């Protein structure tokens, strides 16, 4: 009976979490390390990851290894993925690189064992999708600019509607549609240059057919989620959970990702000097890198929407590195760069699109250093996740007005972590029975004190422009438009309805 109750509870929990965004799922997994949360992530993105690995590797056993390794890497890197709404794109890139690494390991092993190397299949444009486009699809798709690749991954490989993709990314639906159309045209042209002829329409049909035939084994869902949670909890890949091949492949991919970060050094050195010595803004240092000047002649700010990140600043996707004894922690999300000083007493945001920078001092962090990360919800707000021996403030940054909005905690956190729940235009923090909510519309914080009858750690559900807390037939809802909490007692509403129905019968 207990086992059945647990199964039902897990089933209801999975169904409820299926409505959460990728960012909310990642935040919850980082905070609680719940297996059911990771199962939802694997269920949502697993078929796409399986399809990528299958197309690159062909062999079923090798595909399973690459699939599991991809999600083990996700479990280890979950806290650093930004922006959260682009998880599918991040997983696509990791799956492709993991499959390539698995293929290289397989080739090396066969050569060592004295077997003949695999002979590449000749490309024949007269053959079907499996014999032609499959071998080239992911190589060319991975080389597309991110803004065109993301809609293809979400809408064509994962089956999101354009409206769902727009809601997840915080884009307009017209933006999703135009970038999807242009991305498929670019992909079709690139495949044609490689000898695999395909029109935009036929390409979409063929991608859909290939995705439908991918067939991710359902048994992988539970085993992969279990291995991921144990990996995060113990920090090691245990032999009784994953095979030696999967463990070795996971370590290799994590090593490659770490090495790629170490190659990005120029701007890190400049930012380290800026934050350690002081006196010059982060934006100014980056301008020096772009212009090649000594800094004596200021550079005009870039027009809004213009970006020279790919040519002038490190990294082309999302990067996190640094954090040594005397260097800042650095991360990038698109055109936004986030830097924490070596002493953790200053946090800076820089936009490569507008050349604007903004910094904020973090109180108590010099005496009691703590760790801080930026969390992006794909909308107009950026929140900070903070952990350390003493936390006294919350921080939200509004992108439209480029301004910080701090909030004092009623009771400082002596030891622990404060994780934001972030939507498109709302941000919320839970501290016991106290909920702090920020509206990007009203530009102010509102504090909700739940009654003693509420759970000590109530669940906070966040949508694009609202959030709510539920317990024992009570609903507290906060909307960005009002900037206020509204309480509804469902039991009282239901009792009144029943009484009204009874009166009508009389």
CA distance 492 to 479: 22
Bridge partners for 157 per DSSP: none
Q: What is the pLDDT of residue 36?
A: 87
- Confirm whether 295 is domain-assigned: yes
DSSP of 244-281, one letter per residue?
Answer: HHHHHHHHHHHHHHHHHHHT--HHHHHHHHHHHH-SS-
Out of 193-197, 212-216, 372-376, 415-419, pick the least confident: 212-216
**449 DSSP 8-state letter:** E
Cis peptide before 325 (omega within 30 of 0): no
Bridge partners for 383 per DSSP: 375, 396
Q: What is the pLDDT of residue 222?
A: 84
CA distance 390 to 419: 15
CA distance 391 to 3: 40
282 in the same domain as 200: no
- Confirm whether 286 is domain-assigned: yes
Q: What is the pLDDT of residue 266?
A: 39
280 in the same domain as 329: yes
Q: Are 72 and 235 in contact, with CB atoms under 8 Å apart?
A: no
- Identify the band that residue 317 occupies on the pLDDT scale cut at 50, 70 and 90: very low
Q: Looking at residues 317-342, what average pLDDT do you find?
A: 69
345 in the same domain as 208: no
204 in the same domain as 288: no
176 in the same domain as 289: no
Q: What is the pLDDT of residue 443?
A: 94
- Confirm whether 276 is domain-assigned: yes
Tens-place pLDDT, residues 352-367 = 777 788 888 887 555 5
Q: What is the pLDDT of residue 214?
A: 58
CA distance 466 to 40: 22
Tokens 């438009």 map to which residue?
Answer: 481
- Confirm whether 86 is domain-assigned: yes
Q: What is the pLDDT of residue 439?
A: 94
pLDDT at 7 over 50: no
Q: What is the pLDDT of residue 267?
A: 43
Both structure tokens of 461: 């559900």
**155 DSSP 8-state letter:** I
pLDDT at 171 over 70: yes
282 in the same domain as 240: no
Q: Name which of 334, 296, 3 is nearest 146 in CA terms.
A: 334
- Confirm whether 152 is domain-assigned: yes
- Identify the band that residue 404 occupies on the pLDDT scale cut at 50, 70 and 90: very high
- Identify the band that residue 263 occupies on the pLDDT scale cut at 50, 70 and 90: very low
Q: Which domain-ending residue is among 207, 232, 260?
A: 260
pLDDT at 206 over 70: no
pLDDT more than 90, % of the chain = 22
Tens-place pLDDT, residues 37-89 = 899 999 899 999 998 999 889 888 999 999 999 999 999 988 888 777 789 99
- Confirm whether 115 is domain-assigned: yes
pLDDT at 252 over 80: yes
Alpha helix (H) ranges present in 58-172?
60-77, 87-112, 133-143, 146-151, 162-169
Q: What is the pLDDT of residue 125?
A: 36
Distances (CA, A) of 324 to 272, 340, 406, 417: 11, 11, 27, 21
280 in the same domain as 226: no
- Identify the band that residue 18 occupies on the pLDDT scale cut at 50, 70 and 90: low
Q: Which domain-ending residue is among 337, 361, 385?
A: 361
CA distance 176 to 161: 10
398 in the same domain as 313: no
Tens-place pLDDT, residues 477-506 = 999 999 999 998 887 777 776 777 666 555
CA distance 102 to 312: 33
Q: What is the pLDDT of residue 20?
A: 78
CA distance 84 to 78: 9
274 in the same domain as 241: no
Mean pLDDT estimate for the chain: 75
CB within 8 Å of 278: residues ≥ 6 apart: none
Both structure tokens of 292: 């090649």
Q: Which domain-ending residue is among 296, 327, 361?
A: 361
Q: Looking at residues 320-342, what average pLDDT do you find?
A: 71
- Confirm whether 53 is domain-assigned: yes
CA distance 188 to 196: 9
CA distance 164 to 36: 23
pLDDT at 368 over 80: no
Tens-place pLDDT, residues 75-125 = 998 888 877 778 999 999 999 999 999 999 998 888 887 755 544 443 333
134 in the same domain as 204: yes
First to last CA, the chain: 43
CA distance 45 to 84: 14
CA distance 323 to 343: 10
227 in the same domain as 80: yes
More confident residue, 244 or 282: 244
Tens-place pLDDT, residues 334-357 = 778 888 877 777 888 888 777 788
Q: What is the pLDDT of residue 197?
A: 61
Q: What is the pLDDT of residue 367?
A: 55
Both structure tokens of 102: 């698995």
- Confirm whether 246 is domain-assigned: yes
Q: What pTM was computed for the model?
A: 0.52
More confident residue, 13 or 179: 179
pLDDT at 455 over 90: no
CB within 8 Å of 335: residues ≥ 6 apart: 307, 309, 351, 352, 353
472 in the same domain as 329: no
pLDDT at 285 over 90: no
What's the number of domains the chain is made of?
Answer: 3
pLDDT at 280 over 60: no
pLDDT at 16 over 70: no
**Which structural domain, as residue segments, surrounds residue 421?**
370-506
CA distance 30 to 23: 11
Three-state secondary-structure class, residue 423 = coil
Q: Are 140 and 207 in contact, with CB atoms under 8 Å apart?
A: no
Both structure tokens of 197: 């002829």
């Amino acid at each position: 009976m207990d086992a059945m109750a647990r199964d039902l509870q897990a089933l209801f929990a999975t169904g409820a979490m299926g409505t959460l965004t990728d960012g909310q799922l990642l935040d919850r997994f980082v905070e609680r390390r719940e297996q059911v949360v990771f199962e939802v992530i694997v269920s949502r993105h697993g078929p796409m990851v399986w399809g990528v690995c299958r197309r690159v590797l062909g062999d079923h056993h090798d595909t399973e290894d690459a699939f599991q390794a991809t999600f083990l890497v996700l479990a280890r890197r979950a806290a650093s993925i930004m922006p959260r709404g682009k998880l599918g794109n991040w997983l696509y890139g990791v799956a492709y690189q993991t499959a390539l690494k698995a293929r290289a390991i397989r080739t090396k092993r066969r050569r060592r064992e004295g077997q003949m190397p695999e002979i590449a299949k000749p490309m024949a444009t007269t053959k079907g999708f499996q014999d032609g486009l499959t071998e080239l699809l992911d190589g060319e798709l991975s080389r597309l600019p991110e803004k065109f690749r993301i809609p293809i991954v979400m809408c064509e490989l994962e089956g999101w509607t354009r409206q769902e993709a727009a809601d997840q990314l915080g884009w307009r639906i017209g933006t999703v549609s135009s970038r999807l159309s242009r991305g498929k045209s670019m992909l079709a042209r690139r495949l044609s240059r490689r000898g695999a002829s395909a029109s935009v329409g036929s390409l979409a049909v063929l991608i859909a057919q290939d995705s439908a035939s991918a067939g991710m084994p359902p048994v992988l869902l539970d085993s992969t989620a279990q291995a991921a949670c144990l990996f995060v909890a113990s920090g090691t890949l245990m032999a009784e959970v994953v095979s030696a091949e999967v463990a070795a492949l996971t370590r290799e991919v994590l090593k490659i990702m770490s090495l790629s970060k170490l190659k990005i050094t120029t701007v890190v050195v400049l930012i380290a000097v800026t934050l350690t010595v002081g006196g010059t803004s982060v934006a100014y240092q980056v301008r020096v890198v772009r212009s090649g000047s000594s800094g004596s002649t200021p550079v005009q700010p870039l027009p809004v929407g213009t970006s020279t990140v790919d040519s002038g600043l490190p990294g082309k996707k999302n990067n996190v590195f640094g954090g040594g004894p005397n260097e800042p922690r650095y991360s990038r999300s698109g055109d936004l760069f986030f830097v924490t000083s070596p002493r953790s007493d200053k946090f800076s945001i820089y936009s490569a699109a507008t050349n604007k920078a903004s910094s904020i001092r973090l109180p108590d962090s010099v005496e009691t250093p703590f760790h801080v990360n930026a969390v992006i919800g794909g909308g107009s707000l950026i929140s900070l996740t903070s952990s350390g021996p003493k936390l006294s403030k919350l921080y939200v940054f509004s992108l439209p007005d480029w301004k910080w909005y701090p909030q004092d905690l009623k009771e400082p956190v002596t030891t622990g972590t404060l994780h934001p729940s972030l939507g498109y235009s709302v941000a919320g923090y839970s501290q016991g029975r106290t909920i702090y909510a920020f509206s990007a519309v009203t530009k102010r914080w509102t504090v909700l004190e739940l009654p003693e009858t509420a759970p000590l750690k109530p669940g906070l559900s966040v949508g694009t422009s609202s959030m709510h807390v539920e317990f024992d037939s009570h609903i507290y809802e906060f909307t960005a438009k009002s900037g206020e909490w509204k309480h509804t007692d469902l039991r009282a509403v239901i009792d009144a309805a029943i009484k009204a129905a009874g009166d009508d019968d009389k």
